[in-house]
Structure 1
Amino acid sequence: MLNRFLFKKIDNSQLVVFRIFYGLLVSAECYGAIATGWVRRTLIEPQFTFNFIGFDWLQPLPGNGMYIYFAIMGTLGILITLGYKYRFSAFAFAFMWTGVYLMQKTSYNNHYYLLMLLAFIMAFLPAGRDASLDAKLNPNLRSHTIPNWVRWIIILQLFIVYTYASVAKLYGDWLDFSIIEILMKSKDDYPLIGELLQEKWVHTIVAFFGILFDLLIVPALLWKPTRKFAFALAIFFHLFNSYVFRIGIFPYLSLAFTVFFFEPQTIRNIFLRTKEIVVEQVVSVPKNRNIIVGVLGIYFVVQLALPLRHYTFKDEVLWTEEGHRLSWRMMLRSRSGNIKYRVVNAETGKEEQINLDDYLTTKQRRKVACYPDFAWQFAQRLKKEYAQKGEDIQVFVTNKVKINSGEYQPFIDPEVDLANVPWKHFAHNDWILPSQPVDSVKTSD
């Protein structure tokens, strides 16, 4: 039964057309990052970037190196679209994008994470065997079929993303629309709809539509009677998000994913204009069947477990941020804070206040002020800098953070030397102070 489901042959038009869209979109993302100044602001202007902890060695290339880096990635996207040297192009892009993802998190986005996962998935899939230069140059490579598991790995990945995104929205600040009001407040100058986005009834619609869309879109696209209606809603939803939230290629990538839900011949008729492909109902179980099933099983167990890990940590993820990344918790909070760094010479006791403007960009300062890993990493940076001058230091911070429309609360223990405590990846960092009930915060103020 499992073999029949996973390894029956199906038309590969959905995968081939998605490859074309995928290549065009990643190319647009990379060239666009150069044209809009994202590369300059995020990777060139800062003195250093806040990488994912454990990847300190991964820093941007010097000079104009990152412009060249992104130009190469954009070119790889074109090669993916054309299906030229597909396997090499897809893997090269996957590794290069992963490098960008890990070397900076000041501009962290769940969509960048999804693109990293998708890049490696696409690199392993046989997406270059039809409607490609590879197939034209080497006819022996051409194929019109793929095993069924190829289609379902994409669908299951989408189902995980959307479902966790929906469930994460079932919390107080989303359900009372306060976070949506905050998100929309900065959009009041948008042409045509800026004032409309400030209306309470719009916030109500956005809140409930967001939950229901994320929860139901994949099942609705899979079920033929609701497919066209769901597709129309998807167009509206993603174009709305593209205009209002300016989140790059993700809305269009999400629309591109819908090709996996329509009949293969429909996709061929619209995009490939080739004659009808007759696929024999053949189940071809490969010799490496156990490896394929095992790898897919492990991958999806990890994907299901990562978004749940914050439940094993002390206090709420909304407050501590521990377990927030890699969990599809999208557009759920607005953080603000203030922070002061005090450096103490361990031998002489001499104290020095740190001027953050000397080290950080405006966006980096905002992150350091209200995200614990940023605050810890900057303390480590100071420790290394002073060590190069022959000084052994301690680093203490005074810090308050506000979540959404709440009150400012003390966030980091001012008595803890951040320069000399380890970062815990899989456990709660005790120097993050617990959140306080609203009433007690107001009283203390």
Structure 2
Amino acid sequence: MLNQWLYKQVDNSALVVFRVLFGFLITCEAWGAIATSWIRTTLVEPQFTFNFIGLDFLQPLPGDLMYYYYGLMGFFGVLVMLGYKYRFSVLAYGVMWTCVYLMQKSSYNNHYYLLMLLLGIMACFPANRYLSLDAKQNPEIKQNHMPRWVYIVIIAQLWIVYTYASVAKLYPDWLDASVAGQLMQSKADYWLVGEMLQQKWVHWCIAYFGIFFDLLIIPALLWKRTRKTAFIISIFFHLFNSFIFHIGIFPYLSLAFTLFFFPAETVQHIFLPKKSFYDAGEIIRPKNYKPILMVFGLYFLVQITLPLRHWFIQDNVLWTEEGHRLSWRMMLRSKSGRIHFKVVDKSTGKALPFNHRDWLSRKELRSVSTKPDCIWQFCQRVKKDYAAKGTDVAIYVDCKVSVNARPYHTLINPEVDMADAKWDYFWHNDWLMPSPDLSKREVKEHVLD
């Protein structure tokens, strides 16, 4: 019965139109990075990047080659939009995007992670069966239908993302609107709305609208009675985010997803009026349907459990960052840090002249000042550099961090030699100091993550 439901054929208009929009947006993402200073500040100028730990082999290409890298990525995005060599093109973009995502954390963004997942998901979809160069060159693949599981996969993925984003906001600093206020501090000079964004009532609206939008938007789009209202609210929400937070293609990608919530007849009538509508409802089950079900079942099991891991790791994730990434913890807090490194020659016991600012870009300095994994990686890099010169060093870190405009407290145990410290990939690192009693506040300029 489940197999019949999943493999029942439905009209594919939503998927076809989404593929075109998706290809256009990922092209904008790649070529937009070239047009702005993102590639230069993130991948070209830094002496090294903070890759995901254990993936040191992923490093930016030398010189200006990363510009060509992104140019090629954008070209694959165009091919996805046109539906030419579709599966190869979307996989090629996906591999290249994943490599960049994993080779640097200074510009970490949950939306980048979502795009990595979507590229893999889209490679599994028959999105080139209509309105594509593939179908034009090979009419045998042309179809106006697709299996219903395509809808299920998209909606399930979105439901996971939005639900976890809502649940993560249910903590005191978000609920009292203080985080929303800190978010808006840097927007005071925005044209027309800057002054309004500093009002307390706006902070309360942002805080609770964010919680309820993330929690209810998917059910509201699924229910016919609330679908149009939810769509209008989505337009406002995502355009507001685009204007205020400058988060790239994500707001527009989110709006494109609403295609999967409207009746296929409506999508076909508006966007593909010449396409014949499919309503035969055949059940076409592939021979390898069991492995397909197992792969997607395992995928969603990981997606559901991965964001929960921080609950099983010692101490507060807001402080330790352990379990923060890949968990849809979006725009949740602000952090600022003060850091100093003491490099000691082990053979003499004398401190060596060292200024970490000579090693780090401005963007990387923000990460090293507040994020334990980046601090550890930086110490390993410094140790390796000195070892190449024949000097064995110990590195001690004096790092004080403030979370959500609260008082500064020591993050790293200053007595631990961080050059010799070990990194625990899955559990708590005991060289982190316990999280402080987050009870007092003091207003400071913070770095939002």
CA distance in 2, matches of 1:126, 1:439: 53
Whole-Å Cα distance in 2 between the matches of residues 22 and 114 of structure 1? 13
Task: Supply the distance in 2 between the matched residues of 1:432 and 1:95 (Cα, whole angstroms).
Answer: 34
* Deviation readout 1:59-88 (Å, 9 max, x if unpaired): 100111000000001111111000011011
Whether the aligned pair in 1 keeps the contact of 2:144 and 2:278 (CA below 8 Å) is: no
Q: Does 1:379 align with 2:352?
A: no
Matched, 1:141 2:131: no
- Letter matched to residue 387 of structure 2: A
Query: Where in structure 2 are the equivalents of 1:270-419 lying within 5 Å?
Result: 270-419=270-419
CA distance in 1: counterparts of 2:66 and 2:181, whole angstroms: 37
Aligned to 2:184: 184
C-alpha separation in 2, matches of 1:18 and 1:441: 46
CA distance in 2, matches of 1:146, 1:224: 22
What displacement does 1:278 show?
2.9
Aligned residue identity for 2:385: E
Instruction: Tell me the C-alpha RMSD between the 2 structures.
Output: 1.3
Report matched runs for 1:100-119 at 5 Å.
100-119=100-119
Q: Unpaired runs of 5+ in structure 2?
A: 443-449
Q: Which residue of 1 aligns with 2:67?
A: 67
Following superposition, the deviation at residue 439 of structure 1 comes to: 6.2
Classify the secondary structure of the residue corresponding to 1:69. Answer: helix
SS of residue matched to 2:56: coil
Counterpart AA for 2:65: G
Query: SS of the residue aligned with 2:434?
Result: coil
The SS at the match of 1:420 is coil
Deviations 1:249-272 (A, max 9, x none): 000000001001011121111112
Secondary structure of the residue aligned to 2:187 is coil
CA distance in 2, matches of 1:272, 1:431: 59
Alpha-carbon distance between aligned partners in 2 of 1:253 and 1:281, rounded to the nearest angstrom = 29
Mapped to 1, the partners of 2:43 and 2:441 lie a distance apart of 38
CA distance in 2, matches of 1:283, 1:396: 64
Q: Is the 8 A contact 2:405 2:441 kept in 1?
A: no
| Compared CA separation, residues 441 and 360, structure 1 to 2 (3 A) | same
2:2 corresponding residue in structure 1: 2
Give the TM-score, by structure 2 length: 0.97
Instruction: Give the equivalent residue in structure 2 for 1:420.
Output: 420
Query: Are 1:126 and 2:117 counterparts?
Result: no
Contact 2:196 2:202 in 1 (8 A): yes
Q: 1:127 to 1:275 in 2, by over 3 A?
A: closer
Local SS of the residue matching 2:419: helix
Helix, strand or coil at the partner of 2:402: strand
Match of 2:241 in 1: 241
Q: Using the alignment, how far apart are the partners of 1:356 and 1:86 within structure 2?
A: 46
Q: Is the 8 A contact 2:6 2:149 kept in 1?
A: yes
Evaluate the alpha carbon distance shift between residue 27 and residue 222 of structure 1 in structure 2; reply closer, same or farther with a 3 A threshold: same
In 2: Cα distance, 1:439 partner to 1:21 partner: 46
**Residue type at the aligned position of 1:385:** D
**CA distance 1:206–1:345, change in 2 (3 Å):** same
Counterpart in the other structure of 1:76 = 76
2:26 is aligned with 1:40: no
Structure 2 letter corresponding to 1:256: A
Shift of 1:223: 0.8
Contact 2:24 2:81 in 1 (8 A): yes
Is the contact made by 1:340 and 1:353 (CA closer than 8 Å) also made in structure 2?
no
Asked whether the equivalents of residues 84 and 134 of structure 1 are also in contact (C-alpha less than 8 Å), the reply is yes
1:275 & 1:245 partners in 2: Cα distance? Answer: 38
Q: Which residue of 1 aligns with 2:447?
A: none
* Deviation sequence 1:173-206 (CA, Å, 0-9, x none): 1111111100001001001100010111111111
Report which stretch shifted further, 38-47 or 157-166. Answer: 38-47
Give 1:276 shift: 3.5
| Partner AA of 1:76 in structure 2 | F
Larger CA deviation: 4-13 vs 22-31:
4-13
- Which position in structure 2 is the counterpart of 1:175? 175
Residues in 2 aligned to 1:265 and 1:96: alpha-carbon distance in whole angstroms = 36
Counterpart CA distance in 2 for 1:205 and 1:358 is 42
The question of whether the paired residues in 2 share the 8 Å contact of 1:93 and 1:119 is answered with yes
Contact 1:73–1:93 (Cα < 8 Å) also in 2: yes
CA gap of 1:440–1:79, structure 2 versus 1, over 3 A, is closer
Size of the aligned set, in residue pairs, is: 442
Deviation at 1:279, TM superposition (A): 2.7
Q: Distance in 1 between matches of 2:425 and 2:313?
A: 10
Of 275-284 and 125-134, deviating more is 275-284
Tell me how far 1:437 sits from its aligned partner. 1.6
* Alpha-carbon distance in structure 1 between the residues aligned to 2:255 and 2:136: 28
Which secondary structure state, in structure 2, belongs to the residue aligned with residue 193 of structure 1? coil
| 1:220 aligned residue | 220
Q: Find the aligned partners of 1:252 and 1:211 in 2 and give their Cα distance.
A: 20
CA distance in 1, matches of 2:100, 2:418: 27
C-alpha distance in structure 2 between counterparts of 1:394 and 1:267, whole Å:
63
CA deviation map 1:154-190 (0-9, x unaligned): 1100000000000000111111111110000100100
Judge conservation of contact 2:407–2:440 (CA < 8 Å) in 1.
no
Amino acid at match of 1:139: P
- Summarize deviations over 1:380-416 as a string: whole Å, max 9, x none: 0001101111111111101100001211001000111
**Partner amino acid for 1:402?**
S
Question: In the alignment, is the contact (CA less than 8 A) between 1:409 and 1:441 conserved in 2?
Answer: no
Structure 1, unaligned stretches of length 5 or more?
Answer: none
Q: Distance in 1 between matches of 2:322 and 2:148?
A: 37
* Percent identical residues: 59
Distance 1:441 1:390 in 2: 46
Q: Cα distance, 1:438 vs. partner?
A: 4.3
State the alpha-carbon separation in 2 of the partners of residues 278 and 138 from structure 1.
20
Alignment deviations for residues 124-172 of structure 1 (CA, whole Å, 9 cap, x no partner): 2111111000000110111111111111101100000000000000111
Per the TM alignment, residue 440 of structure 1 is displaced from its structure 2 partner at its CA by 9.3
Residues 284-293 or 98-107, more deviating: 284-293
3-state SS in 2 of match to 1:436: coil
